[in-house]
Amino acid sequence: MKILIAMMKHETNTFSPIVTDWQRFENWSAHFGHKALAFYEHTGMPVAAYTKLAREAGADIVFPVAAEAMPAGIVTAEAYDRVSDAICDAVVAGCDLALLDLHGAMVAETTLDGEGTLLERIRSIAPDLPIAVTCDFHCNLTRKMVDNCTALIGYKTYPHVDMYQVGMQVGRIVLDSVAGKVHPVMVHTQLPLLSHTLKQGTDDQPVKSLITACREAETRDSVLAATFFGGFPLADVPDAGSSTVVVADADKLVAERQSRDIADLAWRQRAHFVYHGSSLPETIDEAKRLSEHPVILLDHADNCGSGGTQDVMAVIRELIERDLDGVAVAAVCDPEAVVHMQQAGVGAEMTLMLGGKTDMPSLSLEAKPLQVKGTVRVLTDGRWTVRGPMYTGVQVDMGPSAVFDTGKVKIVVVSVHHEPWDLGVFTSVGIQPQHEKYLLLKSRIHYRAGFASIGKKTLLCDGEGVTTSRNELLDFQNLRRPIYPLDEDVVF
């Protein structure tokens, strides 16, 4: 048996000004053939689970490509074609089974449904090919995705610490279907719900109850997999939002009932999917009053893990002006500032115009750099390996990086976007985060993977940026309407 394994992942924020070209894939992870297999086989990713299953089956492995880019704006046609062509060319060459690790929220210049378009193309080449698909929790599930694969599953954790496990689960389903042990049927249900990402943590309500419902459904005899997708609200596409999908063994009625039951549970709790913020000065004042440390401050509107520019200085400016002391920041993406620090050298005292290099036309926001005075403490190449529970074993490259110390605030400055979900974003540059009073992270929920165990309190800092939770500020043109909470009197 010949098994094709491939990865194509990107979470596209259509409001982000950052173009996702091929270089952006190379900046995070883009490997072909044997290099892709070697890079990912011993990690905690779905493709590693697929590889283990293929080896256990004694199959020949075809691994044409593994490509992922940090979330940003629309994927260029050239980058999308390079990845999807590699996968489809391998299907043309021949395989007995395809195990695919996709995201579910990719938008390219040529398609609003990157994954659905890929799967439809594969189906046209090999109509009877068994296909397994893993998707991110933030998948904007489409009919085209469901109709063109054998079994599809999503992560049950956010932060995503079960990627390997869901890869094993869906891979086994499709391998069992090839052996005639099961006969998968799928049903998905789309909710008119554009939930806020900040309310999608799977350790929190309302999502915690939905994950429990999915796990309970999977204990029933004919249910092979049940998934609730929070969806990705920052993609202006018709299918953006929450959904469910259930895979059952030859019993479509069971799949329909379970999918609808989970969706109904989500709809009844729809008001709890809406984030209501606080003023930034109030949040900083609250942080000052706390006595147990470290306190985690989330600059969530500028989260590069959802497509943020990672150079908005609004929150950093506020905490400096309000004289917050003992802060470590991860991270500001400013390659130009890193070059200036490299030229000055470690120990140099200097003034930087930091961040604020990127305009955000979708929000009518102009770039606003912040003048800071301080000392260059550390210079590194920005390379390290993830040791925490999310993306375990994956090699990170933040590009040339530095630590700029104002005396009260230590700022990690990177050249390549990277969301701080692992302690390595600090430890790789010599900062021990557990000993800082405050940790300002440009993250939303993923930070919990590495930092939840050390943080004594988490406060949400409502700053500026294209990962805003104020979805009413965004000009949706393609999104289906009506949809809650943007519209009133929505019926499901």
Q: Structure pTM?
A: 0.96
Q: What confidence tier does 380 reach under pLDDT thresholds 50, 70, 90?
A: very high
Q: What confidence tier does 472 reach under pLDDT thresholds 50, 70, 90?
A: confident
What is the tens place of the pLDDT at every residue in 217-256?
999 989 999 999 999 999 999 999 999 999 999 999 999 9
CA pair distance 155, 307, nearest whole angstrom: 20
Judge whether 233 and 197 are in contact, CB under 8 Å: yes
For helices 33-40 and 46-56, the axis angle rounded to 10 degrees is: 100
Average pLDDT over every residue of 82-95: 98
- Sort residue 33 into left (φ over 0), alpha (ψ -120 to 50) or beta: left
Average pLDDT, the chain: 97
Pairing of strands 97-102, 131-135: parallel
Instruction: Write down the residue that tokens 């490259």 correspond to.
Output: 397
What is the tens place of the pLDDT at every residue in 174-225?
999 999 999 999 999 999 999 999 999 999 999 999 999 999 999 998 999 9
pLDDT at 221: 85
CA distances from 404 to 290, 321, 358 (A): 25, 17, 20
Pairing of strands 438-441, 327-333: parallel
What percentage of residues in the chain have a pLDDT greater than 90?
99
Whether 471 shows a pLDDT value over 90: the answer reads no
Sequence ranges of the chain with CATH classification 3.40.50.2300: 2-273
Average pLDDT over every residue of 355-380: 97
Pairing of strands 60-62, 2-9: parallel
pLDDT at 355: 98
Angle at 47 between CA 44 and CA 53, to 5 degrees: 100
Whether 354 shows a pLDDT value over 90: the answer reads yes
Cα-Cα-Cα-Cα dihedral sign, residues 474, 227, 24, 74: negative
pLDDT at 32: 98
CATH superfamily of 2-273: Response regulator (3.40.50.2300)
* N-to-C CA span, the chain: 45
pLDDT at 327: 98
